[in-house]
Amino acid sequence: MDEPGWNGTRRLWHARRRSRSQANGHQPQQTRWLVRRRPFDRTGHQREDRAQREVRGPMSPSLVPQAPAAVGGVGGSGTRLVAQLLQAAGFHLGDDINESSDTLWFTLLFKREEILRVDDDEFDQLTRILITALQRGRQLDSDDEALVRSLAVADRPQHLADWLGKRAESLLASTLQPPVANTLGWKEPNTHVVIERLWQRLPQLRYVHVVRNGVDMAYSQNQNQLRLWGPHVLGEDGPVTPARSLAYWCKLHQRMQRLLADNPQRMYWLDYDALCRDPLGEARKLCEFMRCDLAQMRPQLTSVLPPGPARHAGRDLSDLHPANLAYVRSLGYAIAQS
């Protein structure tokens, strides 16, 4: 007898995918992407067999009529404030948003360890589902719906299946709503993990990467990314400590600097501390990059507060690697003496 509920749906979806892949002569997923968890290489890019990976083309312009926007960064770096500024400027970031202004459909689809191993066909499908949900007004086909439901079957390290199920139902319900005319976007800190694969499918995607003093971030209570992606970025498992958090932050931002150099027209490096010091000046530069109206964003700037005291002030920094401290300083951030 078939397994009831979403577990049965998940099995059916995987069976369909296997059938389509065999019919199209595709190699099994594990031969085309990562078989096991792999670290990022010395350049900060995830190691992969480039001979096996296909270069994907952009999504059809009919599916993405406007250049979408995305906001990401290390959790706790100020992405919520930037999302609120974009919403004030007229961006539609979805209908399922939490108190941190995260677009939870992105969380459902992409924030999972196995996203590093999914093949290009599935990543195409995930991207199409996200854009369709954001746009509203167009139902998903049965395969897309089955995939969405399959992602909510089991608990994840940071999200329970019940919570994921609510995200799935919200996403599916959005496709029955009238379409939106606003520019589309999302805010989810983990966007940076898959930004290169997203750009392959959404070449006009404008990505805002929010950055905050790395030593302060090392002492943040929010270490969810270190827990989830730390073994991949740093190459090994380890405890959640300020030293390891700073190492993660440095490795990640060295990679993001390289991506910025290669993609200046579609990536914006936003210094959160600079935004707090000069809200109007930094908002003006953000609007120039995002091609949005500063006048719409301006009333929201009253919520931007001046920078507070350094989170790491008074801490013993002796466990932090000198090279990582030097990298933070190279980005213009002051480090309080312990």
Q: Is the separation of the CB atoms in 56 and 33 below 8 Å?
A: no
Q: Which residue has the tokens 């971030």?
A: 217
Say what the pTM is: 0.84
Cα distance between residue 2 and residue 17, in whole Å: 18
Higher-confidence residue: 289 or 26?
Answer: 289
pLDDT bin (cut points 50, 70, 90) of residue 17 is low
Element (H, E) at 207: strand 206-211
**74-89 burial code (b ≥16 CB/10 A, e <16):** bbbbbbbbbbbbbbbb
Q: How far apart are the first and last CA of the chain?
A: 65
Higher-confidence residue: 57 or 326?
Answer: 326
Span 275-307, pLDDT tens digits: 999 999 999 999 999 999 999 999 999 999 998
Span 66-117, pLDDT tens digits: 789 999 999 999 999 999 999 999 999 999 999 999 999 999 999 999 999 9
The reported pLDDT for the residue numbered 20 is 53
Mean pLDDT of 56-61: 64
* Strands across the sheet containing 206-211: 185-187, 69-73, 206-211, 267-271
Span 109-166, pLDDT tens digits: 999 999 999 999 999 999 999 999 999 999 999 999 999 999 999 999 999 999 999 9
Domain ranges of the chain: 5-14+63-330
Q: Is the separation of the CB atoms in 30 and 169 below 8 Å?
A: no
Q: Is the separation of the CB atoms in 81 and 283 below 8 Å?
A: no
Span 159-182, pLDDT tens digits: 999 999 999 999 999 999 999 999
Span 306-329, pLDDT tens digits: 988 889 999 999 999 999 999 999
C-alpha atoms less than 13 angstroms from C-alpha of 265 in its C-beta half-sphere: 4
Q: Any idea what the Cα angle at residue 33 is, between residues 32 and 35, rounded to 5°?
A: 110
The reported pLDDT for the residue numbered 48 is 41
Q: Does CATH place domain 5-14+63-330 in 3.40.50?
A: yes
